[in-house]
Structure 1
Amino acid sequence: MKRHHYPFVAAAVAAALAAPLSSAWAGEIVGRVTEAATGRALPNATVRVPQLGRTVQADRSGDYRIADLPAGSYTVEVEYVGFGTVKQDVTVADTGEARQAFALGAAVGDLEEVTVTGYRLAQITALQDKKSSKTLKESVTADDAGKLPDQNAGETLARVVGVAVSTDQGEGRYVTIRGIDAALSNVTIDGQLIGSPEGDTRRVALDTVPANILSKLEVIKSATPDLDGNAIGGTVNLVTPSVFDDPDGRFFSATADYGYYDLGGQNPWGGSVGWGNVFNDRFGIVLSASYSDREFNSHNLQGGDPWVESDDEGSALIPDEMGLRDYLIRRVRKGFVANLEFRPNDNVKLHWRNLYNRYEDTEEQPEVVYDYRNGDLENQTATSGTFTEGEGERLNTKRFEIQSILSSSLGGDVQIGDWNIAFSGTYGKTEQDTPYDNEYNFELGDEIPMSYDTSDYFWVVDAGPEFQDPDNFEFNQAARGHQLIEEELRIAQLDFKRDFDWSDKSGFLKFGAKYISRENTSDQDMIVYDGFDGEDDYLLSQVMRQGDPDFYRSERNYYTFGPYPDYDLADRFFRDNEDQFEIDDADTIANSYGVDYRVKEDVTAGYIMGQLEIGSATFIGGVRVEQTDTDFDAYDIVFLDGDAPNPPPQVTGSKKYTNVLPDLLMTWAVRDDVLVRAAWTNTIGRPSYEQNVPFRIFEIEEDFVDDDTGIVFYEGAIEAGNSDLDPLESTNYDVAVEWYLQPAGLLSAGLFYKDIENPIFNRIQILEDEDFEGRRYSELEIQQPQNAQTGEILGVELGFQQQFTSLPSFLSGFGVSISYTWTDSEATVFDRDEKVPFFMQSEHVGNAALFWEQHGVELRLAYSYRSEYLDSLGDSAAQDLYVDTHGQLDFKASYEFSKQLSTFFQVQNINDEPLRFYSGDKSRLAENEIYSWNALAGMSFKF
């Protein structure tokens, strides 16, 4: 870590906090906190014994335990957001348990006819979860119908303060906390780490996880020493259901839905079922399954990543090319949960939790490419011109990809006196299996003039009628392949915790160890064909399909898609004539070995921490130490004038490092309804596998021979990984104020700052007239991820929630939720005088929701907003690629016929918001993808 850190300060604080470990009494009070009307458990309820200054939090099942009490009579208080405070007198004997249950009534200020159910109760539960936490935390909980508010876990988290979601094909996919790349945040299931099914990143795509198999989602923004250190953004924890959370100890639920996509007219459908039961009050089982089938379209316009200068000196920037894509997508999600719990007595809790998700993505991608920047440029104006030798392609790609996540965790915790011992062993496996990824490509046979016009924001390229004739397109290339990316994860964890009470102070000491072993492999086989040796030319007209005449709805113009290869016809033609297609050896080698690797990563961690409550303040201090030991295998592929060894030589690399991560946190209850929080934490961000493996693709071609010296000059390009990368190291500072409003609301403000060392950026270097590995190069381009110098992120978070239950009549059904996050980030990168923002870092992120709930009717209108953010660096600031501003409006309505039966209707993307990229400046459109709106209706049944 950085030299100005003082890790042993936090360790000393932890030791000081844990010093008074003696106790003299053995009486205790135990019980459960529930909601009076439904009997539903109220998790994280605050339970106090004011006479002794003792405070505990109920667990997720509403159960609480206050140990080591002297004999006597006490007033026990239970407080819950939205329900006020309830008091009971309890008598404690010298030894043994005194049992006292608490049933909390209607929410404070509620009118008699208003029932606290559905989304309103879910909001209250989430507020209590936040208030009771000793860290900076947000959560989204299921309502009393057992449903989270969105279809997948990623979209659900888009409602949380400081959280934004990047989309893929219009669906929320990657969760970014405070704008930090999702690869730099942890994703866990019931507190246990899960792997990433994608090889090029550590990000976990949360659109693979159906929301209706989860009971809660948590976002932990400030790390504590008992959490994994790889969490610069934070930790997302997916919580699966427990039957012990249910008031009756048993439940059954089922949902079914059916919908409509406006752009393509398809009808998505899905359903879920869940069952749980407690046997003999000790053994609990939960089984749940979910299935959804979504088929839809999206239309895409691309202009190459950056805009570039035309050939004339001093000319304006223009798109690199124009590409049109008409996606047809089918996504099938299957989710399963099987949780078994055994509680032989009140001091022993054992569990075996299992989750399996399977996400099937079938994409057919017809594409038309206008490669118009060739030949001479004529008739140039500030916004238009004609190139004399334009080229073009018409192609179709079809890919079937299966992502799966398996997590199985066996463990428990045992209470022995004042000590709690928690243990677990977890096995996880993730896969990204692509059984086929095939492309058939046809190119324009003759070069033709092509004109561009950028006077409109939706710029166009005109290639004339010849470009629409399928007889003018000849076979260019076919690629057929498959890939398997696998990661196996084995985790062993042991934690010890001891509560203590001393005078008017209480707290705990906690320490433990964790071992994580993960192995990630990528294996791709791809054969590329670049010629056809048949008697006649192979033309597009032989396998063509006509494109959608209404392609790309736009207020200003329609793009003509025209003919493209029918995938089934082209695939059949290939299989019938496979022996007449010629293999491109160079591309086959590059595609078959360039992304193959093996990574073995072992992390050994230990920590010590303590918590101390002094009056109305709680302090947490401690230190975590993590040692990372990584080995890599990949391939070094060197093409000399198009030829390379097959197979190429394998290369290895390794990296070993240790991180010391001290943390210090404080929560101060200025009043019962006002909390002040502060935190100083340290976290890391490990490089992705693709960045870290020592692969290299080196293309070398002879350029010229110097007549005077006889020296041969070459041109070359290198794309490579970097096994010497250091992890990002972040020192994080947080201050927050939370005011919990009556009857059920919150006004909050927070300030955070992250000082980050070793940020990773992709560096492109151009060497001219230099020697490299025994050859002289006129020009050599080297592209490789490297550690930059430093980066900083400063941010402000604001939030407001309120349920207006004290208003008269129908107005009492209204509620509102508003959040806003502002961040300012900058990083010093290579070969740039000016600083750049961090990747994925939006300056403005906001969410707003207005809801109304009364008499079984629930209405919710929600808007999420995210300003532009940097996606990738170009050769200059004018060519940096940004994802543009995105704001989406959604609506949901539901009606509860009875406590058992309800129906819902929702519309997403009402405002038809696209996914949009721009090159350097908002006026330069680089990509625009449209989806239109979609609707879903369904029924829920539960008893």
Structure 2
Amino acid sequence: DFIPSEGFEIQHKGGEETRNGYMAAIEWAPTDNFRLKADGFLSRFDSKEFARGYRVKLESSQSSYDNLTANPDGNIIGGTFYRNPGSSTRVELVNDDNQDFDEVASYGLKGDWDISDNWSMSFDASYSSAESNFRNGLLWSLVAEDATVANPVIDQNVSISYLNNGLNLPNVGFSQAEAFSDIDRVMVSKYGIYPYENSDEIEAFRLDFKYQLDNNFVSSIEFGARYSDRTYSNERSVFEYGSDSGFPNSAPPLRLTQDMVEVVDWQGDFAYFPSYLSIDLDKALNAWFPSGIPQPVQSWGTANPGVINSPTPGLGPNTAWSVTESGSVFEEVTSAYVMANIDTELGDIPVSGNFGVRMVDTNQSSTVLQDVQGDPEQGAQYITDDAGLINDQFASKIIGDTYTDYLPSLNLNFKITDNDQIRFAAAKVMGRPPINRLFANANVRVSDVFGSIDEDTGDIVLTNPTAEINGSSTNSPFLRPFYANQYDLSYERYFDDTDGALVVALFYKEIKSFIDTTATRPYDFAANGFDVPTEVVVTVTNEDGLPELNSNAEPITVTIPTVNGTYTTAQNNSEGGYIRGIELAYTEIYSMLPGLWSGLGVNASYSYTESEIQRTTGNGVYTGNLPGLSEQVASVTLFWEYEGFESRVSTRYRNPFVSKQVGVNEQTVNYDGETVVDFQASYAINDNLSVLFQANNVTDAPTKSYFGDESLTGTIQYFGTQYFLGMTYSL
């Protein structure tokens, strides 16, 4: 037995971004002891991105293969795969267009009042909102035997060869390579769009007091409270037409014309990859849908078994996810704190800092559609989607969690000399999960299996012999924050003759709890209380998507068993762990240099970090590094400032690390080390107007990932150099 990859992608990606930001502030000071300030910020951010190239689907369970190559551990890293009759081994030419329209607004009102010589207070009221409309249009094309005929058929002569080359570009070969750029062979076969519409609103209020003391230890006491009310919503929708694995008569493919396409040739190190057609999405869709391009809707899908009014029961799409993954999150946070500011001496050493505690009370909840198998006693309702389909299997509920945390903290600064000081800090800290992680959208799905009849043999051909059950519960309103006790100790040396400092810092973070995502395969869904089928009935269909009929004019069906697949969960891992290390930082402006060189300076830092966490998976308990952390990170910035002109060159390095990436599912992978060079220059034309130029990743350093061993290639991505030109005008 062997398990090759599901496939691979070779693509060009790019796009353009436009951002406009507006900010205004006004301050009113009617007296010497009262100030009122109002400000507002508005930003509109639009981006258009494309992905062009090919996506390879090996479908190894259906294909023939030879010349398999494995690494020393027996993992398949290459081979040649052939399409068999009735199978789905193929190369999809992809033309994806993503559009994202975002708007962020923030408004605030703040007042400061010096009540007396000892008392002062401040209050703050704010409102912020964010809206995002992400529209990801995907266009698939397949190679036909002849795209010029009235009834084109998909090319069955498919062979795909590949050999991974570790963290270098792979060797690939395609029997259809010349056809990828031929409009007489390539036909558009499927269009899909799967938007995300998000909104996020926060109302917040804050009140703080400060009382000055007259003693030799505590200089003042501060206390206050904060309240915030947050609502987040996520709406999904979908429209699909056609097939990414064939040319059904019910959704015939689109014949391309020369004005819709452009041949793309790979350049440089990629020049040996086959050329392909880049397709203008708008022109293709206008030709395919001359009466108007259909828009996505939130729908159960006609094939969803819970739909009671489906016009084609068991046939068509099952898009229940667009309904179950739509909903809202509600978060209310009330906090209060008290803090004492220190101003004293230890012997002859001045000591400053503070100590205090903060109480944080959280109430978080989420809407959820729970599958109660249509039981009215458990709240089952008739739920109608945007297409008018009615599902009676779900109950609409709000579930959530309430918890209270107490976070003590201590900060001490010891001024050893005028140029030297030691800092110590200790605190219990928390970090909330992103708001979208609190949305309850757990689901269990049975994979779709399709059946057809082989025209040559008359045999029934299934896309898979079994239907796989997979599930996910990676988001939940019961997820708690990241908790840790952290300790920091640093020594700082400030230079006499120049502007600069040398800092040496030690840090230790005792992790108490963190959100951990794990995947178990195979997962026994039934044994763990999930109501899942042991078998499913597949309706055999023709090219039009209609049922094939037997001699009694009844639909031909095949019953196949289900098998357990992957269950991905997120939970609060209370096994804990640690993060510890040392950091060195050096900053200096060489102001002793003559003339224009007096603005020359350098900023450099280096950190060494160790981390360890304990995780439990379906394969047992193991320890590893905290995802996202590199053991060694270094940066050097050379900068120069002179008469309104500023420029800087920065180099950032991090050694290999473990983090997450999204493939077929979210995966934890290894990333190779990276060295990135950036450049920035700006010029203040006058007191009101300045211009800025940035070039990020000047050397086009790639990002490379792999699965445990470098021979198991994950991704090799060249993002190119990004250029930004901006202007700032202030009144």
Correspondence list, 1:368-383, <5 A: 368-372=54-58, 374=60, 375-382=63-70
Which of 269, 274, 286 in structure 2 is aligned with 1:560?
Answer: 274
CA distance in 1, matches of 2:392, 2:190: 21
Q: Which residue of 1 aligns with 2:343?
A: 613
Which of 513, 517, 520 in structure 1 is aligned with 2:225?
Answer: 513
Tell me by how many angstroms 1:461 deviates: 2.4
Give CA deviations for 1:568-617 in whole Å, capped at 9, x if unaligned. Answer: 22211343267999977555623422421211111111111101210210
Which of 382, 400, 403 in structure 2 is aligned with 1:657?
Answer: 403
The answer to whether structure 1 residue 749 and structure 2 residue 504 are counterparts is yes
Which of 107, 118, 132 in structure 2 is aligned with 1:432?
Answer: 132
Length-normalised TM-score, structure 1? 0.59
Distance 1:523 1:508, change over 3 A: same
Q: Which residue of 2 aligns with 1:393?
A: 92
Q: Which residue of 2 aligns with 1:419?
A: 119
Q: Which residue of 1 aligns with 2:606?
A: 820
Q: Which residue of 2 aligns with 1:921?
A: 709
Q: Which residue of 2 aligns with 1:463?
A: 174
Give CA deviations for 1:23-54 in whole Å, capped at 9, x if unaligned. Answer: xxxxxxxxxxxxxxxxxxxxxxxxxxxxxxxx
CA distance in 2, matches of 1:622, 1:580: 59
CA distance in 2, matches of 1:584, 1:442: 25
Amino acid corresponding to residue 601 of structure 1 in structure 2: E
CA distance in 1, matches of 2:272, 2:634: 33
CA distance in 2, matches of 1:857, 1:516: 42
Tell me by how many angstroms 1:741 deviates: 0.9
Distance 1:345 1:755, change over 3 A: same
Q: Which residue of 1 aligns with 2:418?
A: 672
Greater alpha carbon shift after TM alignment, 477-486 vs 415-424: 477-486
Instruction: Answer whether contact 2:105 2:129 (CA < 8 A) is retained.
Output: yes
CA distance in 2, matches of 1:474, 1:900: 55
Amino acid corresponding to residue 661 of structure 1 in structure 2: L
Q: Which residue of 2 aligns with 1:450?
A: 160
What's the secondary structure of 1:671's corresponding residue?
coil
Q: Which residue of 1 aligns with 2:150?
A: none
Distance 1:896 1:485, change over 3 A: closer
CA distance in 2, matches of 1:612, 1:450: 71
CA distance in 1, matches of 2:354, 2:131: 38
Correspondence list, 1:1-400, <5 A: 312=2, 320-372=6-58, 374=60, 375-382=63-70, 384-389=78-83, 390-400=89-99
Correspondence list, 1:673-688, <5 A: 673-688=419-434
CA distance in 2, matches of 1:346, 1:536: 75
Give CA deviations for 1:126-162 in whole Å, capped at 9, x if unaligned. Answer: xxxxxxxxxxxxxxxxxxxxxxxxxxxxxxxxxxxxx
Tell me by how many angstroms 1:534 deviates: 5.6
In percent, how many aligned pairs have the same letter? 23
Give CA deviations for 1:352-407 in whole Å, capped at 9, x if unaligned. Answer: 11111111112233341112353132123456421122312123222321222211
Instruction: Answer whether contact 1:421 1:497 (CA < 8 A) is retained.
Output: yes
Q: Which residue of 1 aligns with 2:515?
A: 760
Tell me by how many angstroms 1:841 deviates: 1.6
CA distance in 1, matches of 2:183, 2:727: 49
Instruction: Answer whether contact 1:323 1:370 (CA < 8 A) is retained.
Output: yes
Amino acid corresponding to residue 827 of structure 1 in structure 2: I
Length-normalised TM-score, structure 2? 0.75
Amino acid corresponding to residue 699 of structure 1 in structure 2: R
Which of 481, 490, 497 in structure 2 is aligned with 1:736?
Answer: 490
Greater alpha carbon shift after TM alignment, 449-458 vs 849-858: 849-858
Tell me by how many angstroms 1:756 deviates: 1.6
Distance 1:726 1:873, change over 3 A: same
Instruction: Answer whether contact 1:639 1:698 (CA < 8 A) is retained.
Output: no
What's the secondary structure of 2:591's corresponding residue?
coil
CA distance in 1, matches of 2:720, 2:570: 37
Q: Which residue of 2 aligns with 1:168?
A: none
What's the secondary structure of 2:437's corresponding residue?
helix
Amino acid corresponding to residue 538 of structure 1 in structure 2: P
CA distance in 2, matches of 1:903, 1:592: 44
Greater alpha carbon shift after TM alignment, 738-747 vs 900-909: 900-909
CA distance in 1, matches of 2:30, 2:623: 60
Q: Which residue of 1 aligns with 2:443?
A: 697
Tell me by how many angstroms 1:702 deviates: 11
What's the secondary structure of 1:758's corresponding residue?
strand
CA distance in 1, matches of 2:525, 2:197: 41
What's the secondary structure of 2:289's corresponding residue?
helix
Give CA deviations for 1:227-272 in whole Å, capped at 9, x if unaligned. Answer: xxxxxxxxxxxxxxxxxxxxxxxxxxxxxxxxxxxxxxxxxxxxxx
Greater alpha carbon shift after TM alignment, 917-926 vs 327-336: 917-926
CA distance in 2, matches of 1:628, 1:481: 33
What's the secondary structure of 1:555's corresponding residue?
helix
Which of 487, 492, 500 in structure 1 is aligned with 2:205?
Answer: 492
What's the secondary structure of 1:430's corresponding residue?
strand
Give CA deviations for 1:620-655 in whole Å, capped at 9, x if unaligned. Answer: 111111111112102346999xx9937854343111
Structure 1 gaps of 5+ residues are 1-310, 704-712
Greater alpha carbon shift after TM alignment, 667-676 vs 921-930: 921-930
Instruction: Answer whether contact 1:519 1:598 (CA < 8 A) is retained.
Output: yes
Which of 545, 552, 566 in structure 2 is aligned with 1:781?
Answer: 566
Q: Which residue of 1 aligns with 2:361?
A: 627
Instruction: Answer whether contact 2:265 2:276 (CA < 8 A) is retained.
Output: no
Which of 173, 190, 205 in structure 2 is aligned with 1:477?
Answer: 190
Q: Which residue of 2 aligns with 1:572?
A: 286
- Larger helix proportion of the pair: 1
Instruction: Answer whether contact 2:286 2:292 (CA < 8 A) is retained.
Output: no
Amino acid corresponding to residue 693 of structure 1 in structure 2: F
Distance 1:530 1:648, change over 3 A: farther
Tell me by how many angstroms 1:813 deviates: 4.4
What's the secondary structure of 1:863's corresponding residue?
strand
CA distance in 1, matches of 2:200, 2:662: 32
Amino acid corresponding to residue 480 of structure 2 in structure 1: D
Instruction: Answer whether contact 1:450 1:463 (CA < 8 A) is retained.
Output: yes
Higher RCO (CA-CA < 8 Å; seq separation 6+): 1
Correspondence list, 1:892-931, <5 A: 892-893=680-681, 907-931=695-719
What's the secondary structure of 1:458's corresponding residue?
strand
What's the secondary structure of 2:325's corresponding residue?
coil
CA distance in 2, matches of 1:855, 1:429: 39
Q: Which residue of 2 aligns with 1:604?
A: 334
What's the secondary structure of 1:570's corresponding residue?
helix
Instruction: Answer whether contact 1:451 1:463 (CA < 8 A) is retained.
Output: yes
Distance 1:400 1:934, change over 3 A: closer
CA distance in 2, matches of 1:682, 1:355: 33
CA distance in 2, matches of 1:688, 1:373: 36
Tell me by how many angstroms 1:934 deviates: 5.0
Q: How many positions carry a matched residue from both structures?
A: 613
Instruction: Answer whether contact 1:470 1:539 (CA < 8 A) is retained.
Output: no
CA distance in 1, matches of 2:724, 2:198: 33
Which of 600, 604, 624 in structure 2 is aligned with 1:836?
Answer: 624
Instruction: Answer whether contact 1:404 1:431 (CA < 8 A) is retained.
Output: yes
CA distance in 2, matches of 1:450, 1:823: 43
Amino acid corresponding to residue 501 of structure 2 in structure 1: L
What's the secondary structure of 1:841's corresponding residue?
coil
Tell me by how many angstroms 1:522 deviates: 0.9
Give CA deviations for 1:640-688 in whole Å, capped at 9, x if unaligned. Answer: 9xx9937854343111111111111111111111111111111112233
Structure 2 gaps of 5+ residues are 71-76, 84-88, 144-153, 305-316, 375-388, 450-465, 535-562
Amino acid corresponding to residue 322 of structure 1 in structure 2: F
Instruction: Answer whether contact 2:364 2:477 (CA < 8 A) is retained.
Output: no
Tell me by how many angstroms 1:501 deviates: 2.2
